[in-house]
Amino acid sequence: MMGFALWTLLAPSLVVAQVFDLSELQWTLKNQNGSIVVPGSLPSQAHLDLFEAGIINDPLLGINEFTERWVINDNWTYTADLTPFTKTYESDASGKTLLVFYGIDTIANITFAGYPVAWVNNQFQRYIYDVSDYLSSSAGEDNNLTIALESAWYYGLNVTMRPDAEYFPNTPTFEYPNVRAWIRKTDDDFGWDWLCLIILLNGPAFVPSGVYKPAYLVTLSESEPRYPASDATSCPVTSRSVFLDETSLDIYKYGQNSSVAPDQSADWIVNVTFGIRSIKSFEKPAVTLSIPELKLTSEPLILGPIPANADENIYLGVNWSIPDNIPERWYPIDLGNPKLYNITVTLDPSPSQGDGPSAESITQTITTGFRTIQLLQTPYSEEEIASRGITPGDQWHFAINGKAFYSKGTNIIPFDPFYSRIKPEAVRWVLESAVKSGQNMLRVWGGGIYQPSDAATDGGLYTFYSLCDELGILAWSELIFSDSLSPINDFLLESIEPEVRQNVRRVNRHPSNVQWAGGNEIEGIVMAANASLANGTHYLDEFVFMFQDYLHDIVLSETNSVPYTDCSTTRGVLSLDPYVLRFANGTPGYIYGNTERYNYNASEAFDLTTYPVGRFVNEFGFHSMPSFYSWKEVLENPEDYAFNSSVVMSRDHHPPAGNLSWPNPNAPQGQYQMTSAVELWLPTPGTSDSNQTFAQWCWSTQLFQSMNMVAEIAWYRRGAGLGENNLGSLVWQLNDIWQGVSWSAIEYSGRWKVLQYGMATVYSPVVINPFWFPGNESLTILATSDRWETVNGTAQLTWYDWSGSTIKSMTTPFSIPTLNNSLIYEGVGLDAILPFGYNAKDVWLLMNVTATVDNKLVTSESYFTPVSLAYSNLVDPQIAVIAGDNYTFTLSAKGGVGAWTWLDHPSGTVGYFLDPTTGLPSNGYYLIPGIDRTVQFISSVELASVQSPDPADFVVRSLWNNTHI
């Protein structure tokens, strides 16, 4: 799999340390009083092992989030007999055995053969302990490895009782309140509404615990190991006496740093830094780097002495200079080729004088790419303001390889409440779906988890960053701090520093990474505290210490290739060197930093005057129901299949309860927001079939969500050619963590919502969109391009009535400059805009563009209805569907126009519909009589439980079905 780090031997004579995979031990799991004892596993989490043993049901089923809360309140202990390891272990006075954990969630005491090893309190750290002295004799009769996990909830409550645990105002609270700031654990484990500052994820609160990533025993020895290493899928990197804990590879331009723009003609610097533990000292280790595809090999690079020290990592590094013009550059997929190279990294601790490496040599193959990425935050020049009509203020956008571009994408949340069961194929599906919908950037949200590099590196279990590298998707990374002021306590700071360093070093190798943000939405919280509280400056000072200074300095001491920002949503900086945040310092009317939008007043959903005018919009969204098919995965009773059933509402965490009340007493607000949106803008679902009505309600909330988000994206993309020079829009959110109400574009199973298809249209390179201002009854239609080159094409505007008759049509050529718009139509006064003699309820406008981009024909369409579809005089479309070979379907409107015609694939299937002619996703469109649509269902074989569905089980729907069987 592309992106894996491959640990290889250079010659048959080379030997490695003995590596024992702790998953091979027989584990048991028990609760604190011993009343529950079941088989355990590693990697795993307590809920999963209890489910496997039949003690609990699937945590995602029904109301189990509530009924299984007792698991969170107990302490759980994993224990395994070490005999399978000790029977192969031979004592060696010169040797060392290291206990390696790639991830423990979260609060745990570790004992080895009866000896206390460590107490840990950070889910995001890698832990390594020397247990050599405990192997010669166990403490009493104890020959076990024990990980005793404390309830994170009760631990958090205990910590908040400390005299130095200060109270933080203005902090959103979810199901398990007031503790998450004190625990280095995934924030959304305590519940979320995936909106936070404006309150936002709508995820469950399972507060899991366990050894959620692989763990090993690594025995270093000066003699050859008697037994071979375990056949592990994720194995520590070793030679006989050296443990290579970390290999950081950072590629940047000579002279580049966070405050100095890269010279695009300068040499590339390939920095390789190792974290090394060794039982022997080596005086003159050397490193050789090569890129076989380019036929490049470095001279031996002197690393510096390696001391005999297995207790902690020694960090040593080398630099290799490569001329600028030799490697091909990596680009996001929509702007070029995401070119990757395999770099061979050979560390030889004791290079011999003869040919070939020594027996201690370690070779890795690391897949990476060459690119520069910048986050421009300095003020626009007077010349740009004058010549381009830029609104004064600061820049806030990214540049790849020296060129500004438009960031089109979404936000990523954790893929499952339980990390250890995340399926690699499910993650690949989500990321490939992002590419299919035209996205080039994903923001890794700071309230979740540090996403892994790949399944092998640091026990990742699945691939994320390496997959982004391969697919050409940029990844905006964040440290795991979200929607809370942060404690400045020594015991937390000493845990946070290694966490941040380890993760920054690991991610360095990935050309997809664009930045490290210090956290999610915290700057706005502290600015509000500073403005509203008498002691607000105290919290501002703490924020400055943590996010302006402390984390900034740690991150930038570990990377030269990517920038740091204090927060996901920020007012920007006064200075980059020294790094000084702007906060409220600015000139009225100027634009600074980036922004977000959440507005749950559905009457303003399409009021363009309520949309922000900003440089970059990194979050905006509206929630929707999952599909009827997703509800079938978790609802257990027929009476549950209703929009406001108790079970459905229990899975709406927006707004959050703020405590352990169940069902969420605030859920009616979130339900009403969806209900009112549908009633205002679409025909209100209601038929004689209760299941159809429920299905239409679910789909209608998704349709409104898509209409709303597409309108916002169009507005922000329009801004690229206006004074705000908007160069980014990231929708909240792409994926889902469970089957429930959420902001996602893709459901938990991988099923695409309407929004996912909507983004495939509006994130096309060239689009056409209407901008309607009801206040003065003005309509502007623009063609917009995100290309670096001028785009020429043709726009067609066609008015139809709802029976499908053409009223009038016009064609207009256009030419769009770089990252800009072209005016297609402008009109004022509804009577003048409408076809003469027609009522607004009886007509609609189809807008098409055709252009050539990158030597390919690009088409896109959008729709304008002069009044809400709730009041339009729709006509029965009488849609006919003919199934063809290979799951192709031809849809025809035999009556009127099928507004938002939609084809659903059956339960158990995962896939998407595409237009076989264009190869692009196609679903959710206006089906016009006489203009048939043919689509093909492309199945995900890896995710689907039903591989050969009956074509008769595919269901077609449109707005007509909201009120008609």
Whether 753 contacts 702, CB under 8 Å: yes
Q: In angstroms, rounded to a whole number, what is the distance separating the alpha carbons of residues 770 and 776?
A: 15
Element (H, E) at 772: strand 766-773
Other beta carbons within 10 angstroms of residue 142's beta carbon come to 17
Whether 422 contacts 943, CB under 8 Å: no
Per DSSP, the three-state class of 958 is coil
What lies within 8 Å, CB to CB, of 962 at 6+ separation is 682, 683, 684, 685, 686, 687, 696, 700
Farthest-apart Cα atoms in the chain, separation? 97
To the nearest 10°, report the CA torsion of 426, 431, 436, 440: 170
φ, ψ at 451 (rounded to 5°): -70, 145
Q: In angstroms, rounded to a whole number, what is the distance separating the alpha carbons of residues 872 and 681?
A: 10
Q: In angstroms, rounded to a whole number, what is the distance separating the alpha carbons of residues 656 and 665?
A: 8
472: which 2 tokens? Answer: 């050409």
Q: Has 747 been annotated as catalytic?
A: no
Other beta carbons within 10 angstroms of residue 572's beta carbon come to 25
Q: In angstroms, rounded to a whole number, what is the distance separating the alpha carbons of residues 458 and 449?
A: 14
Q: Report long-range pairs for 708-711 (Cβ below 8 Å, ≥24 apart).
A: 708/605, 708/606, 708/622, 708/677, 709/620, 709/621, 709/622, 709/755, 709/758, 709/759, 710/758, 710/759, 710/761, 710/762, 710/862, 711/605, 711/606, 711/608
Question: Cis bond leading into 106, ω under 30°?
Answer: yes
Angle at the Cα of 475 from the Cα atoms of 469 and 481, rounded to 5 degrees: 140
From 150, 246, 470, 521, the catalytic residue: 521
Buried b (16+ CB within 10 A) or exposed e, 213-243: bbbbbbbbbeeebeeebbebebbbbbbbbbb
Alpha carbon distances (Å) from 352 to 9, 288, 320, 328, 357 = 16, 14, 22, 34, 7
Whether 261 contacts 560, CB under 8 Å: no
Whether 418 contacts 45, CB under 8 Å: yes
As annotated, the active-site residues are 521
